[in-house]
Amino acid sequence: MNKFIGLIILVFFCTHTAVAIAAAEDDIVLNGDAKCTVCHDEADSPELLAIGKTPHGVRADDRTPTCTSCHGESVGHIEHKGKNKPPKPDRTFGKHTATPAADRNQACLNCHQKDNKRHLWVGSAHETHDIACNACHQVHAAFDSVQDKRTQPDVCFACHKEQRAQVNRQSHHPVLEGKVSCSDCHNVHGSAGPRLMKADSVVTTCYACHAEKRGPFVHNHQPVTDDCTNCHMPHGTTADNLLKARPPLVCYQCHSGHGTPGIAGIAPGVTTNPQSDTFIEQGRGCLNCHTEIHGSNNPHGGHNLLPSAFFLR
């Protein structure tokens, strides 16, 4: 009986050794993942193995990372034996992980630091606020919501709730319609421009779509060349054309007091009756006459004797 038990133990030992050797040989083919997939198989962890359907699971690409590339060598986790729960890997990415955001991000930056879209990550707004890559990205999922134009805004709105409210206003960029996404204007991984703009300035970013506002014009409107957000709120407003306020109120931000003393926007000599001036202000909009407000090619637009002719058609 004892010999029979010993034979069974010997067979089990040889079989286990053969499996271990085969796993070690396959480890070369699987880019170092075999030591993890021995336990995390399709039956036990199907959500983890979904990474095989992502760019991080392409076996033909020698740049493809291994499990240990992201989670660390995790010797204690891999070599754990017994029924007790094994210790966590060296680096974890769950919602309640104890791994600092900087350490999690470094696992990604080891490969993605050289990417032109991410080389400004260090010192960026998201990096300085300890935002981890996995707060936005789903590495193991076959579908990463933040990389799809239709679902990306919901990921951003999880933190940027003010912008969520703005895009639901009557005048807004077609974000909810799936035609524009946050990454069309912003480089969330870092930018040399303000507000994480993709280009070096707000106006250059806007001109990528609104090229007709770029000019050059004979007469340029200074607020336009300075910053589009002087007049517009790009995420959404209650005024038409994404304006901060309806005309003439938006114009009064700069032109208050211009013209007849005490009456904004009235050219000198138009009327002499303050009451009539007030009626004109209330009943008319600046854009009724100044139609080319982003810039005009009217040859008389800058004539000293015709100051009211700026930005005419």
Please state the pTM of the whole predicted model: 0.77
Instruction: Tell which residue, 76, 129, 71, has the closest CA to residue 97.
Output: 71
In this structure, is the dihedral angle defined by the CA atoms of residues 188, 190, 196 and 202, taken in order, positive or negative? negative
What single DSSP character describes residue 89?
P
- Taking 70 as the threshold, does the pLDDT of residue 20 lie above it? no
Q: Which of 104-108, 153-157, 208-212, 271-275 has the lowest mean pLDDT?
A: 271-275
pLDDT band (50, 70, 90) for residue 254: confident
Cis bond leading into 216, ω under 30°?
yes
Tokens describing residue 77 = 């986790």
Rg (CA), the chain: 31
CA–CA dist 131, 296 (Å, integer): 44
CA–CA dist 34, 32 (Å, integer): 6
Q: How many CA atoms lie within 13 A of 187 on its CB side?
A: 21
Q: For residue 96, what are the contacts with CB-CB under 8 A and spacing of at least 6?
A: none
In this structure, is the dihedral angle defined by the CA atoms of residues 167, 171, 177 and 180, taken in order, positive or negative? negative
pLDDT tens digits along 273-311: 554 444 445 555 788 878 889 988 877 654 444 444 577
CA–CA dist 30, 232 (Å, integer): 53
Cβ-in-10-Å burial (0-12, 13-18, 19+) of 190 comes to middle
CA distances from 197 to 33, 60, 167 (A): 38, 35, 18
Q: Which residue has the tokens 């760019």?
A: 55
Task: Give me the phi and psi of 29, to 5 degrees please.
Answer: -70, -40
Amino acid at position 301, single letter:
G
pLDDT band (50, 70, 90) for residue 55: confident
Q: Which residue has the tokens 């075999």?
A: 34
pLDDT top residue among 296 and 126: 126
E-assigned strands of 97-150?
none
Task: Give me the phi and psi of 123, to 5 degrees please.
Answer: 90, -5
The whole-number average pLDDT for the span 76-85 is 88
Q: Which of 98-112, 123-137, 190-204, 285-299 has the lowest mean pLDDT?
A: 285-299
Buried-state track 17-56, b at ≥16 Cβ within 10 A, e below 16: eeeeeeeeeeeeeebebbbbbeeeeeeeeeeebbbeebeb
DSSP alpha helices (H): ranges in 214-288? 222-226, 252-255, 274-283
Cβ neighbour number for residue 146 with a 10 Å cutoff: 18
CA–CA dist 213, 51 (Å, integer): 44
Residue 15 CA, distance from chain mean position: 51
CA–CA dist 6, 182 (Å, integer): 66
Tokens describing residue 149 = 């134009």
Cα dihedral value 29, 33, 39, 43, nearest 10: -70
